Structure formats: structure tokens, C-alpha cells
A = this chain, B = another copy of it.
Amino acid sequence: MQFSSRFTIATHILLCIAMFQNDRKVTSDFLAGSVNVNPVVVRNVLRCLSSNDLVRIRPGVGGAYLAGPPENITLLDVFRAVEKEQTLFHFHQDPNPQCPVGRTIHSVMDDKIETMQSAMESVMKDITIGELLEETKQKM
């Protein structure tokens, strides 16, 4: 099981906006062309990013802009904006409380899973759209 592609799509979108927002109007159709998905998918992702104050969208006239400098947007911001279900693992429901393992499994495992997730998120927190933008420009 994996996280959906919304995270990579959202990162792609933010990079595109950062790259092009000063030169042209960055519409959902333009973004859809670069990411190569349906414009509605882009608009749904943009809505998530917008409601988390990462981008500003101009309804009617069109165009998306970063809400702040790209150095201030971390991949953790992006992840939290687009992934509703942010716990890493499903836990099986209703383990048998009459079994000593079933009775305690949650209290034993919950903080382990949290540690795993924190490890992942601390990496995300240290990577910004600004860095990725620089790296992209170097590779152009």
C-alpha cells in the first residue's frame, strides 16, 4: 500500500508555479499539461494547497501563485495539505481483549508507529520547494 500520487503531483505543481509565476499566467490547464493529468485533478490538488495557505488562486481571471517564498514551503507542508489520512499504517480493529497480546498490542505498538512516522516527517520538514527549485534549474 502506498500514499497516493497527490503528494508528488502537488510537489510538481508547486515547482511549476515557482518556476513560471513571474513569466506567465499559470492556469490549471497549463499545470495539467506539465504534470500530464486531468485539469480537474490539478484543481483538486490546488484547492488543498490553497486552503493550507501554500498558494493563492485567482478565481475568474485565473492563475496560481505561491503564497510565500518557495524557501518557506517544506515537503511536510505539502504532505499535510494533500494527504487526509496521515497515519502510516492501518491498525487491525478489535484485537481480542481476552488474549494478553490482543489486550496490549495497541499500547505497545502505537508509539512505535508514531516514531516511524516522525522519522519520515523530519526528513520532509528539512526539504523545501526552494531547494528543489534550485536543483531543477541546475538540471535544466
A95: chain B residues within 8 A (beta carbon)? 12, 34-36
Task: From known contacts A33-B99, A119-B119, infer whether A112 and B75 are also in contact, taking CB-CB under 8 Å.
Answer: yes
In the complex, what distance in Å separates the CA atom of A105 from the CA atom of B85?
25
Which residues of A pack against B, CB within 8 Å? Answer: 1-5, 7-9, 11-12, 15-16, 19, 33-37, 75, 83, 85, 87-96, 99-105, 107-109, 112, 115-117, 119-120, 122-124, 127, 132, 135-136, 139-140
Report chain B residues within 8 Å CB of A122: 119
Residue of B nearest to A91 (CB): B8
CB distance from A113 to the nearest CB of B (A): 8
B108–A116 CB distance below 8 A? no
Q: Which residue of B lies closest to A94 (CB)?
A: B36
User: Given the complex of chains A and B, what is the CA–CA distance between A89 and B35 in angstroms?
Assistant: 16
Interchain nearest-CB distance for A64 vs B (Å)? 14
Our pick among B2, B92, B119 for the contact of A1 (Cβ within 8 Å) is B2
CA distance A140 to B100 in the complex (A): 6
A1–B7 CA distance with the chains assembled, in angstroms: 11
**What are 5 of the A-B contact pairs (CB < 8 Å)?**
A3-B89, A34-B99, A36-B94, A75-B112, A120-B120
Are A123 and B119 in contact, CB atoms less than 8 angstroms apart? yes
